[in-house]
Structures are given as structure tokens and as C-alpha cells.
């Protein structure tokens, strides 16, 4: 799926890939046994079964260095609880004769959760089962602009009812709902401190959604949810440390350290888009000046085009239409249009170099709608990464561009809900999950 860390010229290489969602390959982080020593054995066994998709008991015993009798005892408890079931091990039975080999798999029907991504142009939702398999998906367009919290809760309820109808489920059939919104979100407190899709700050969004939906609800920043999607379903499953940088209507970042999402001490860390790259610089939508986002995000590109291409008469057109026009002009040879993308790309490279210098990740994944604008990550910007990051004896992290599509964000929200439901079904606390 991935190319090597560096090309022959020593510059970091790019890989443009589609992600995978669940299925027989399983879902969830692929954590080495030595990293799991402090976690309950019952949890380790369950997570390994789900991560593998299907696995025989003998393999669990080998992986965890425990006796087959212990595996049999603990998996029997999981089977009795309705969380795991015996399935045919297709990988062995294809070549073996006689009685088909038996493996263990997560019982998908044990629960279903919904994942929802709310944005200023489109709301998206998925429903997945306990094994991470997709049950249904749905996307609804809306008029751009911020909403009151009541209106946003109304929209969430409407979307959830529609996707449940599509899946042939009632809302009460869901075990939990994960919700992602852009902006500064404290997942622990369930508060949206600021979001471009909300009209006021310090919004107790989680509590409002729980009251309306009468379901457990978990919220987080949307960039964190893209990172969870990569950790559970994509390129980050087997990586200890990696970063995801998203470029949509803003610029966000998620970070995984030791196979776990890092949020910071107050739950609002990793705001790469709001790191400062220019004193008294361009105005960011957060209200401050000089943020990286204010030079890379879609509204920054439109702002530059309005001045450089004299687009003041096109102010009533949507941002998407303006960006497509700008990209078409750049592709057709308009140097002013191309220079706008290239300037944004230089700022993006500066931000990525800072990520490398701060965290030294194995991989940086670029994701989001704006990744189709390839001027943002040209060969020249790759070269800039090499010169701007520390020159020490280490390979430059690979940069991967993932074109999953918009439902990626909703899958991350589903993973957020699935993680919490898993702990509850196993009779464990979230504190253990964070170990």
C-alpha cells in the first residue's frame, strides 16, 4: 500500500491511496503484544480478534504468550456474553482437507453504532456493527453558514433518523453515536469551545445531543476522527506513531502516539492550523492573526484569488465554485492562479516540517477534500520539507495522500463510539482504554 520512505534523491515520497473499511481484514489498532502488558487480558484477546477479523485460538495463545487453556477460558466467556462467535477459518480451510478449521470472530450483531460528521456544507453518517463492518451510509448537503446549537441538534437528529431508516433500524437499536465537528472541541467535557458551524462558543454539544437522542453520545474534533479512522481502518493500524493533517474548509491535525490518539491535557491539542507562521498576519476564522490555516485553507485561497485575479465581482459565488475555477485556471497555465496554490503549498510544507521536528512521526497522512489540488504538495514542496526539518541521520517520514472520500470522517466518529461501547460491553472503564 505504501512506497518507500525516501526516493533516490533523498526527498520524502508521496503515496496516493484509498483506505479500507473493516471486512474480513478486521478493524482496530494492530498493537504488538509487548505494548499491551498493562491492559486486561480479556480486553487484549477481544481486540486481537477484532483486529484480525478472524483468528484461531492457537494463534491468540502464540501472540500473547499464554496457555491455550487460558485462551479457551477467556474466549468462552466472550462467546457466552455474545461478543465473539466461532466462524470458519477460510484461510486454513481453503487448503486443508477434512473438518474445516474453526476461528473466532467478533459477533457483528452484538451492537451497532453510528458515526456522524457535521460540517458547514454537508452532514455525513455511517452505521457500523460491532466488528466494524459498514451497515449503511448517508450524506446530506446543506446551505453553508453557522447554526445555533438547537438547529445543529435538529440536523443531527434528522440525519440519524434517515440513516436508521435506510439501514432498517430504529434509533433505539443503536448502542451509541459518535459525532465530529470542526473547531476546538474538548472530548472529555463534551464541549465545543469554538466551531465555525456554531453561532456561539462554549457550547455543551454532547449534553444537548444526549438529551435529544436519548443515546450515549461522544463528540470530538473532526481531525481527531480522521486520525481514528486511519488508526482503526486504514494506514495507521500497525504504526506506533503517525500524524494526520486534514485540509478541508480549515486545516486540522491528529496525532497517534504509541498506538493511541493524543488529545493533550485539556483535550484540545494538536491544533496545527492555529500555530502562528506570521506575526500580525492574515486574519484567521478563529479571530486571531497569522495562523497557518489562514494561508492554506479554502477561504485563504479565495481571499488571495479575489485580489490577484480581481474577483471582487464574484463574491456571491460559493467557495467550491471559486476554488474549482482557480484550479482550472492554474491547470491551464495562469501563473497568478498557480502561484496562489504554490504559496499555500510552501506554508503547508513549513507546517509539516514543524510536525516532523516536534514529533518525528513514522508517517504523515494528508487527507481531505483539498488534496485534489496537487499544487499544494508538489515535488518542490517535498524538497522544502527536507531542508526545513532537522538534518540528522534519520529517514524523512513518508508523506501519504489518502483519497478515502467524505465518509472517512464519519467512520472515525463511528470508531469513537465503538471504542466506548467495547469498554462498556467488556465491563471495563475508559481509563483502561487510555493506558
Residue 245 three-state SS: strand
- The crossing angle, in degrees rounded to 10, of helices 335-359 and 298-308 is 150
Compute how many other C-beta atoms are within 10 angstroms of the C-beta atom of residue 392. 6
- The crossing angle, in degrees rounded to 10, of helices 41-52 and 57-64 is 120
CATH homologous superfamily of 237-405: ATPase, nucleotide binding domain (3.30.420.40)
Rounded distance, CA 135 to CA 148, Å? 31
**Contact assessment for residue 181 and residue 195, using Cβ atoms and an 8 Å cutoff:** yes
The residues, ordered by sequence, that sit 6+ positions from 434 with a Cβ below 8 Å of its Cβ are: 260
pTM here is: 0.86
Domain 23-91+101-109 has CATH 3.90.550.50: no
Rounded distance, CA 352 to CA 261, Å? 19
The full set of domain ranges for the chain reads 23-91+101-109, 110-228+408-433, 237-405
The reported pLDDT for the residue numbered 414 is 97
The reported pLDDT for the residue numbered 95 is 52
Rounded distance, CA 49 to CA 60, Å? 8
Structure-block grid coordinates of residue 142 = 446543506
What DSSP letter does each residue of 2-36 carry, written as one string?
---SB-TTSPBPEEEE----SGGG--S----GGGG
**Contact assessment for residue 112 and residue 168, using Cβ atoms and an 8 Å cutoff:** no
DSSP assignment, residue 198?
B
Evaluate whether 23-91+101-109 and 237-405 have a shared fold.
Answer: no
Rounded distance, CA 20 to CA 123, Å? 21
CA atoms within 13 A on the CB side of 221: 31
CATH topology of domain 110-228+408-433: Nucleotidyltransferase; domain 5 (3.30.420)
Rounded distance, CA 99 to CA 96, Å? 8
Each residue's pLDDT, cut to its tens digit, for the chain (435 residues) gives 233 333 434 445 445 444 445 445 789 998 887 656 678 899 999 999 999 999 999 999 999 999 999 999 999 999 999 999 999 876 554 555 556 678 999 999 999 999 999 988 889 999 999 999 999 999 998 888 899 999 999 999 999 999 999 999 999 999 999 999 998 999 999 999 999 999 999 999 999 999 999 999 999 998 999 999 999 998 899 999 999 998 878 889 999 999 999 998 877 889 999 999 999 999 998 889 999 999 998 888 888 888 888 776 666 577 778 888 888 888 888 898 889 888 888 899 899 999 998 998 999 998 877 777 776 777 776 677 777 777 676 677 888 887 666 688 899 999 999 999 999 999 987 555 554
The reported pLDDT for the residue numbered 434 is 53
The reported pLDDT for the residue numbered 245 is 93
**Cα–Cα distances in Å, from 204 out to 40, 175, 213?**
33, 21, 15
The residues, ordered by sequence, that sit 6+ positions from 344 with a Cβ below 8 Å of its Cβ are: 295, 296, 300, 301, 304, 375, 376
Amino acid at each position: 500500500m505504501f512506497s518507500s520512505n525516501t526516493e533516490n534523491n533523498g526527498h520524502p515520497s508521496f503515496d496516493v491511496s484509498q483506505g479500507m473499511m473493516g471486512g474480513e481484514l478486521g478493524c482496530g489498532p494492530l498493537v504488538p503484544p509487548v505494548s499491551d502488558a498493562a491492559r486486561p487480558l480479556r480486553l487484549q484477546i477481544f481486540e486481537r480478534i477484532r483486529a484480525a477479523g478472524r483468528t484461531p485460538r492457537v494463534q491468540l495463545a502464540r501472540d500473547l504468550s499464554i496457555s491455550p487453556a487460558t485462551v479457551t477460558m477467556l474466549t468462552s466467556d466472550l462467546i457466552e456474553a455474545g461478543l465473539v462467535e466461532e466462524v470458519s477459518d477460510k484461510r486454513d480451510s481453503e487448503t486443508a482437507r477434512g473438518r474445516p478449521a474453526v476461528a473466532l470472530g467478533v459477533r457483528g450483531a452484538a451492537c451497532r453504532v453510528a458515526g456522524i460528521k457535521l460540517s458547514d456544507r454537508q452532514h455525513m453518517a455511517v452505521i457500523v456493527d460491532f466488528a466494524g463492518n459498514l451497515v449503511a451510509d448517508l450524506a446530506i448537503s446543506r446551505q453553508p453558514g453557522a447554526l445555533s446549537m438547537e438547529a445543529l441538534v435538529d440536523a443531527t437528529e434528522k440525519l440519524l433518523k434517515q440513516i436508521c431508516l435506510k439501514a432498517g433500524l430504529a434509533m433505539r437499536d443503536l448502542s451509541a453515536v459518535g459525532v465530529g465537528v470542526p473547531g476546538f472541541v474538548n472530548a472529555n467535557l463534551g464541549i465545543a469551545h469554538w466551531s465555525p458551524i456554531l453561532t456561539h462558543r462554549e457550547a455543551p454539544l454532547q449534553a444537548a445531543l444526549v438529551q435529544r437522542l436519548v443515546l450515549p453520545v461522544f463528540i470530538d474534533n473532526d481531525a481527531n476522527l480522521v486520525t481514528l479512522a486511519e488508526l482503526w481502518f486504514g494506514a495507521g493500524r500497525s504504526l506506533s506513531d503517525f500524524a494526520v493533517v486534514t485540509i478541508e474548509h480549515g486545516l486540522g491535525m491528529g496525532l497517534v502516539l504509541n498506538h493511541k490518539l493524543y488529545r493533550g491535557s485539556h483535550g484540545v491539542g494538536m491544533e496545527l492550523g492555529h500555530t502562528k507562521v506570521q506575526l500580525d498576519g492574515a486574519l484567521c476564522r478563529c479571530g486571531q492573526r497569522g495562523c497557518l490555516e489562514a494561508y492554506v485553507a479554502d477561504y485563504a485561497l479565495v481571499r488571495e484569488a479575489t485580489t490577484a485575479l480581481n474577483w471582487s465581482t464574484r463574491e456571491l459565488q460559493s467557495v467550491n465554485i471559486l476554488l474549482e475555477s482557480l484550479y482550472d485556471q492554474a491547470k491551464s497555465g495562469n501563473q497568478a492562479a498557480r502561484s496562489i496554490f504554490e504559496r499555500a503549498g510552501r506554508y503547508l510544507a513549513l507546517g509539516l516540517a514543524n510536525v516532523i521536528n516536534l514529533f518525528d512521526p513514522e508517517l504523515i497522512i494528508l487527507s481531505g477534500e483539498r488534496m485534489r489540488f496537487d499544487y499544494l504538495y508538489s515535488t518542490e514542496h517535498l524538497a522544502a520539507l527536507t531542508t526545513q526539518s532537522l538534518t540528522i541521520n534519520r529517514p524523512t517520514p513518508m508523506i501519504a495522500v489518502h483519497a478515502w472520500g467524505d465518509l472517512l470522517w464519519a467512520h472515525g466518529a463511528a470508531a469513537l463510539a465503538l471504542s466506548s461501547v467495547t469498554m462498556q460491553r467488556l465491563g471495563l472503564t475508559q481509563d483502561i482504554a487510555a493506558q
